[in-house]
Structure 1
Amino acid sequence: MIDHLGIVATDYPNSRAFYEKALAPIGYTKLMELGPEITGAFHTAGFGQAPKPDFWVSSARPGQASSGTVHVCFRAANRAQVDAFHAAALAAGARDNGAPGLRPHYHPNYYGAFVLDPDGHNIEAVCHDPV
């Protein structure tokens, strides 16, 4: 089980705005945002379903660079949410990395969609339920 995870964005305001739009169809909202006055050095926004954020996007700390790519998969309640995530992410500026559809090589009901976010992170939404 993953409790939460985070990524460092090269353009924090752009990435924060991207995730606000791209994650809305699967029920994720920005639940918390903290600045350097709280963190001591960086901005961070926590997304999730109330009451607890479980996905964080942060600016780099002074002297820190965003490095590497990250794969994050968000669970959707149904296939329509996967479709809506993909459309919203593309509209928000993502690049397509796999249109919505079945991925039977994972399991027969695996229905996912993939996009690359503004920093090139591979972001996915998946529904494991049949139809």
Structure 2
Amino acid sequence: MFSHATLGTNDLPRAIAFYDALLAPLGLARFHTAEGEAGYARRPDASPQFWLMRPIDGRPASPGNGATLGFEAPDRATVRAVHAAGLQHGGAEEGGPGLRPHYHADFYGAYLRDPDGNKLCCVCHRPE
């Protein structure tokens, strides 16, 4: 459904270190790094892609109120691995791994904020 998602950052090297670790358990790797931007995907020619960028308008990056970027995991162990990697690399806790049955019976997710304050979710929609 989506071509790509982009988050702004005020410190690209710090964001790269965070997302390299966070996305590795999901099989996403950085395929592009240039002045002010970095791109991740399963393959460079594949969609969806995830991008980090310094804002093009030159103003500071800021997280969106009510915005959450969700990464889908193949299983619950991967949700736990992604959450742990994020916390180990400068992320802030927003809700540890666990079932969220108010979404649906098998929604197993974890939430954190990246070093720029963007809210992230890693979720598995499958039963254990």
| TM-score, with structure 2 as normaliser | 0.89
**Structure 2 counterpart of 1:39:** none
CA drift of 1:23 comes to 1.2
**Residue in 2 that maps onto 1:61:** 56
- Paired with 2:17 and 2:56, the residues of 1 have a C-alpha distance of 19
Unaligned runs of at least 5 residues, structure 2:
none
State whether residues 63 and 116 of structure 2, in contact with CA within 8 Å, keep that contact through their aligned partners in structure 1: no
Separation (CA, whole Å) in 1 of partners of 2:55 and 2:25 = 27
Tell me how far apart the structure 2 counterparts of residues 16 and 110 of structure 1 sit (CA, whole Å).
Answer: 28
Deviation, structure 1 residue 62: 6.0
Aligned partners of 2:4 and 2:50 also within 8 Å: yes
Partners of 1:22 and 1:120 lie apart in 2 by 15
Q: 1:38 maps to which residue? A: none
Counterpart of 2:123 in structure 1 is 126
The code of the aligned residue for 1:68 comes to P
The alpha carbon displacement at 1:58 in A equals 0.7
Q: Give the number of equivalent residue pairs.
A: 124
2:97 alignment partner, one of 94, 97, 100: 100
After the TM superposition, which parts of structure 1 deviate over 3 Å for at least 4 consecutive aligned residues? none
Residue aligning to 2:74: 77
Deviation of 1:60 after TM superposition, in Å, equals 2.9
Give the structure 2 partner of residue 8 of structure 1: 8
3-state SS, counterpart of residue 84 of structure 1: helix
Q: Aligned-residue CA RMSD in angstroms? A: 1.4
Structure 2 residue aligned with 1:88: 85
Paired position in structure 2 for 1:24: 24
List per-residue Cα deviations over 1:101-130 (Å, max 9, x = no partner).
001000000000011100111111100011
